[in-house]
Structure formats: C-alpha cells, structure tokens
Amino acid sequence: MKSQIDKHDFLYQTRSYHGNFTPEALVFNANLQEFATRVGYISNLQTLGKLSPQDANQQITELWERLQRSYSGLGIDSNTET
C-alpha cells in the first residue's frame, strides 16, 4: 500500500485512451492531456495573480505551438479515420 501520493502523478494525471488505437494517436493523446493540464495550471496562476496575462498568454501560445508540431510530426491526418 502506497502511503504517500506521488507528486508527479497527482499533478500530471492521465486518463486511459479510448480512441482508435495507433501508436501516433496514443502519443498525441498523451501530448494533448499534458497540454490541457498545463493550460489549466497557467490559467489558475494567472487568475491568482501569480502570472501576468501577457506571461500566461505567451506560455499557452508556446504550449499550443509545441502541440501543433507534435501533431504534424506524428503525421496524423484529421480527415482520415482508421
């Protein structure tokens, strides 16, 4: 029995993948979950006054660009169903 919660697992929770399985889709799903988690944290920090709106916007923009590069790099075509 684990007596303490692992901080990383608590902060970066992941959910099971339920889509059509391909290795690329699974990787993108993990990247998308990380994006969503980080955007939530950035939004909360901005709401609490710990980040300026400009810093929050910059960080979210960088995360979005990273997610787009991941999508393109994995060669996922949103018009193709498997």
Burial 28-55 (b: 16+ CB within 10 A, else e): bbebeebbeebbeebeeebeeeebeeee
The DSSP letter of residue 30 is H
CA distances from 12 to 44, 54, 72 (A): 15, 24, 24
Report pTM: 0.75
Convert the pLDDT of each residue in 6-59 to its tens digit.
776 666 666 777 778 899 999 999 999 999 999 999 999 999 999 999 999 999
What is the distance between the alpha carbons of residues 44 and 27, in angstroms, rounded to a whole number?
26
Q: Where are the domains of the chain?
A: 49-74
Q: What is the pLDDT of residue 10?
A: 65
Q: 74 falls in which pLDDT band (50, 70, 90)?
A: very high
